[in-house]
């Protein structure tokens, strides 16, 4: 309660008169109140500032958290060690031959056409060879002449041998007739060889099948002139299709799993034939440097003629790989200018763009032959904007 007005007037008129002691207490209390009020106001101001700083810090954290890409991850699935590998193969006949004329002549007659199945030594065509016929007649006549000369030389040599022994003629003369006999004998032998050659040429006018098979080409007509040797056109092409050779090119990653004698299955979907069983007969034992594949031959019994040479077949091999491959979804791949990548997340939740090598494409999934391990955490549907070392956070239902 403030002092009375009279007391205040008296205190102002009497400066040297000390004020009553009871008036000091209210003034001290007022200062304390003001100090407390000031402290409270300062505390409220500091509290407000701290709240605003904290709110700003939380807002910054929320902004940074919301700015981090949210990703879903998964672990790659190991590919089975024993896998069936299907490759395109080329079907070839067990053996085939282009048949040429061994002698020059004209086509007199042909007996088989394309698609005809023939046996070994079956006659395919006949040639008319007048030049060879005349040469044979001439050779035979020349041989008969030389044989007559040989007989005469022998009789003469025998007579002079007797005269030499009797001393009626010189030894030199006897030796001359013996030498003439030897020369005539050599001439006859040469004639016999020439006649034998011409007789063989005469036999070559009959075109015979070299083995059992089917005629796949016929390139001659009656009256056509054919030349001896392989410089001209072939007359026939014959193929043995009782067994077939199927050639496939096995990729490098599976080449080490191919074994001689391993069973395979060969199918020809275009013909609707039943699958045929075959075996790996041989390999090239070397990779093609241009394709990095191993040429492999598979022998197939084709007694039922289900397959035909020259077509493509599907060859299924049961292989076991020595490498540790993985199967990953196709939507984990990133196609970058520097190459194919898969986005991985490390323990610090940072992105690592891992180069990988692909194997087979199964459509929705892809085989990865190198670049991954069993503990890799891959990002599903990675954004093209992801970069190396970027901080990410996992989706709530992510791994």
**Which residue among 165, 193, 208 closes a domain?**
208
Q: Write out the chain's pLDDT in tens, 399 residues.
A: 445 444 443 444 444 444 444 444 557 778 788 888 888 888 888 887 888 777 777 666 655 555 678 888 888 888 776 677 889 999 999 999 999 998 889 999 999 999 999 999 999 999 998 888 888 899 989 999 989 988 988 888 888 888 888 888 888 888 888 898 899 899 999 999 999 988 888 888 999 999 999 999 999 999 999 988 877 789 999 999 999 999 999 988 788 888 898 889 888 766 666 788 889 999 999 999 999 999 999 999 888 887 788 888 899 988 766 567 888 999 889 988 888 999 999 888 898 999 998 877 778 888 888 888 888 889 898 888 888 888 888 877 655
Catalogue the long-range contacts made by 117-122 (C-beta closer than 8 Å, 24 or more residues apart): 117/212, 117/213, 117/214, 117/215, 118/209, 118/212, 118/213, 118/214, 118/215, 118/238, 119/209, 119/212, 120/209, 120/210, 120/211, 120/212, 121/208, 121/209, 122/208, 122/209
Q: Please tell me whether residues 160 and 114 are part of one structural domain.
A: yes
In three-state secondary structure terms, 295 is strand
Contact 382, 72 (CB under 8 A): no
Task: Please choose, from the candidates 332, 314, 338, the residue with its C-alpha nearest in 3D space to the C-alpha of residue 379.
Answer: 332
Q: Does residue 300 share a domain with residue 367?
A: no
Q: First-to-last CA distance in the chain?
A: 74
| Last-in-domain residue among 300, 320, 340 | 320
Domain identity same for 170 and 257: no
Q: Which of these three, 280, 297, 320, is where a domain ends?
A: 320
Same domain, 292 and 331: no
Domain contains 223: no
The alpha-helical segments, DSSP class H, found in the chain are: 5-13, 24-67, 130-166, 171-203, 252-255
By residue range, what is the domain housing residue 261? Answer: 241-320
Q: 61 and 28: one domain?
A: yes
- Of the candidates 288, 294, 299, which has an alpha carbon nearest to the alpha carbon of residue 319? 294
- 140 and 115, same structural domain? yes
Do 117 and 194 lie in one domain? The reply is: yes
Judgement on whether residues 295 and 340 belong to the same structural domain of the protein: no
Residue 351 lies in a domain: yes
Residue 315 sits in the same domain as residue 332: no
DSSP 391: B
Total domains present in the chain: 4
| pTM (two decimals) | 0.57
The answer to whether residue 305 is domain-embedded is yes
Cβ atoms of 115 and 309 closer than 8 Å: no
CA distance 193 to 331: 80
- Same domain? 313 vs 353: no
């Amino acid at each position: 309660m403030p002092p009375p007005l009279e007391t205040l007037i008296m205190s102002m008129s009497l400066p040297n008169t000390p004020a009553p002691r009871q008036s000091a207490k209210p003034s001290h209390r007022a200062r304390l109140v003001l100090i407390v009020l000031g402290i409270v106001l300062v505390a409220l101001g500091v509290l407000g500032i701290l709240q605003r700083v904290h709110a700003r810090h939380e807002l910054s954290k929320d902004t940074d958290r919301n700015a981090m890409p949210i990703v879903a991850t998964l672990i790659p699935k190991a590919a089975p060690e024993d896998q069936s590998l299907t490759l395109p193969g080329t079907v070839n006949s067990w053996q085939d031959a282009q048949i040429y004329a061994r002698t020059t002549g004209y086509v007199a007659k042909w007996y088989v056409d394309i698609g005809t199945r023939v046996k070994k030594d079956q006659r395919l065509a006949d040639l008319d060879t007048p030049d060879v016929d005349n040469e044979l007649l001439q050779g035979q006549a020349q041989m008969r002449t030389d044989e007559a000369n040989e007989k005469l030389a022998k009789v003469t040599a025998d007579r002079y041998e007797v005269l030499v022994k009797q001393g009626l003629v010189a030894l030199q003369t006897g030796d001359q007739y013996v030498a003439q006999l030897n020369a005539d004998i050599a001439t006859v032998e040469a004639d016999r060889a020439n006649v034998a050659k011409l007789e063989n040429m005469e036999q070559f006018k009959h075109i015979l099948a070299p083995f059992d098979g089917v005629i796949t080409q016929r390139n001659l007509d009656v009256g056509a002139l054919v030349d001896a040797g392989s410089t001209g056109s072939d007359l026939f092409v014959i193929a043995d299709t009782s067994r077939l050779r199927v050639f496939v090119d096995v990729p490098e990653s599976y080449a080490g799993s191919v074994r001689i004698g391993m069973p395979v299955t060969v199918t020809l979907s275009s013909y609707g034939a039943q699958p045929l069983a075959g075996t790996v007969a041989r390999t090239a034992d070397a990779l093609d440097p241009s394709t990095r594949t191993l040429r492999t031959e598979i022998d197939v019994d084709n007694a039922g003629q289900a397959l035909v040479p020259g077509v493509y077949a599907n060859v299924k091999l049961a292989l076991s790989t020595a490498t540790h491959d993985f199967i990953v979804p196709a939507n984990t791949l990133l196609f970058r200018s520097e190459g194919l990548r898969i986005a991985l997340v490390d323990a610090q939740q940072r992105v690592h763009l891992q180069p990988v090598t692909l194997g087979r494409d199964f459509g929705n999934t892809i085989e990865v032959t190198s670049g991954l391990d069993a503990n890799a955490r891959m990002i599903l549907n990675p954004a093209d904007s992801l970069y190396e070392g970027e901080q990410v956070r996992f989706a709530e239902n992510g791994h």
